[in-house]
Structure formats: structure tokens, C-alpha cells
Amino acid sequence: MSTATDTKQERINLRLQHRAKRTLERAASLEGKTVSHFILTSALAHAEKTIHEHEVMELNKRDSEAFFDSLVKPVRFNKKLTAAIEEHEQRVTVK
């Protein structure tokens, strides 16, 4: 969150139903916050959670070991893969 010396320069406006507004006002009051501060802190927490869920991959022990092994072991190309790479280079890369 911003400090007291930071200036607020951005604004978001939204329209909502009366019932939704009353719910937000009640929740903000219960936490001793303004409605704006309540909405901002709630939305930021949800945004950070959403970003985390999309950027972080959590693996169990077996999957994390398989992932690590695939990174440290050299890849061996079989004939079909080598042929496919060469064909790709001919069709796409080299023109």
C-alpha cells in the first residue's frame, strides 16, 4: 500500500446496485475503514492472489523431481525428432 508521502493520481469509478453498496459500507464500517480504503485493500489482495495463482506453479515431490530431472539431464534426439527439426528449419526458418 502507499505511504503518507505518496500522492494518489489514479482513479477508478464503478456503478453498483444499492444493495451491493450497503454491503460494502457495512463491511468497511466493521473493519473501521472508509469504503474506498476497504474496496482498495480487498481488491488489491484479490489481485495479488490472482497474479500469484497464474505465475506460480506448485508441484508435489514426485512432479518436482521429474521437472528437475528434465532440466539437468541432456536431451537425446531420436531420428524422428531430428528429422522433424530439420524439416521445420527448411519450411519455416530457411526461406
Q: What is the DSSP string of 33-51?
A: --HHHHHHHHHHHHHHHHH
Coil, strand, or helix at residue 90? helix
pLDDT 10s per residue in the chain (95 long)?
A: 555 567 888 999 999 999 999 999 999 999 999 999 999 999 999 999 999 999 998 999 999 999 999 899 878 899 999 999 999 988 886 55
Q: Would you tell me how many other CB atoms lie within 10 Å of the CB of residue 38? A: 19
The pLDDT value recorded for residue 74 is 79
In 9-94, at which residue ranges do the beta strands (DSSP E only) sit? Answer: none
**pTM for this prediction:** 0.59
Whole domain around residue 36: which residue ranges? 18-55
Residue 47, domain member (yes or no) = yes
Place of cell 534426439: 77
Residue 9, domain member (yes or no) = no
Q: Same structural domain for residues 42 and 71?
A: no
Q: What CA–CA distance (Å, rounded) separates 31 from 3?
A: 20
